[in-house]
Amino acid sequence: MLVKEILRVKGGVLYTTTPEQTLEAVVATMADLDVGSLVVMAAGKMVGMVTFREVLQAVKAANASGKSPTVREVMVADPVTVPPDMDANSLRRLMIEKHSRYLPVVENGDLQGVISFLDVAKAVLEEQSLENTLLKNYIKNWPEETAQA
């Protein structure tokens, strides 16, 4: 299974914000949409990612300083990206190595979508279910041996 197949199953919805947004607006958007990440866009290009990890760290820092940061101040400006032709096993390995739950999919500089660890788990589960069904069907319809004299 490839990243582009996982994206196809997931669908093309992409949630974004801008670098100038306040942390409060990002928290509200993420809560309303029930998502753990937003792609940060400026001038039609991805300039970063903000995930609940950055939000939590920023909330902690804001509580200590009394200052409310913008997305630009808390986002990951150069997130790890993956190509659409990467296989799912390599993707899972990279997500674990980089401690990333969300990875943007980029091809020739164009953002194709974002893959979450949950998206990967769902896709792998669906693939295994299909294989399991096919194997059970194959075994159920196994041709009978002909008796040899």
What is the pLDDT at residue 103?
Answer: 96
d(C-alpha 53, C-alpha 61), whole Å: 13
Residue spans of alpha helices (H) in 34-105:
52-65, 71-74, 88-98
Of the two residues 39 and 123, the one the predictor is more confident about is 39
Name the least confident of 21-30, 62-71, 117-126, 131-140.
131-140
Look at residue 147 in the predicted model and tell me its pLDDT: 57
Name which of 53, 113, 125, 51 is nearest 82 in CA terms.
113
Query: Which H/E stretch holds residue 113?
Result: strand 110-116
How are beta strands 45-51 and 16-17 bridged, if at all?
unpaired
78-135 pLDDT per residue, tens: 999 999 999 999 999 999 999 999 999 999 989 999 999 999 988 888 776 666 676 7
Distance (Å) of CA 63 to CA 28, 60, 67, 69: 17, 5, 7, 11
Confidence (pTM): 0.80
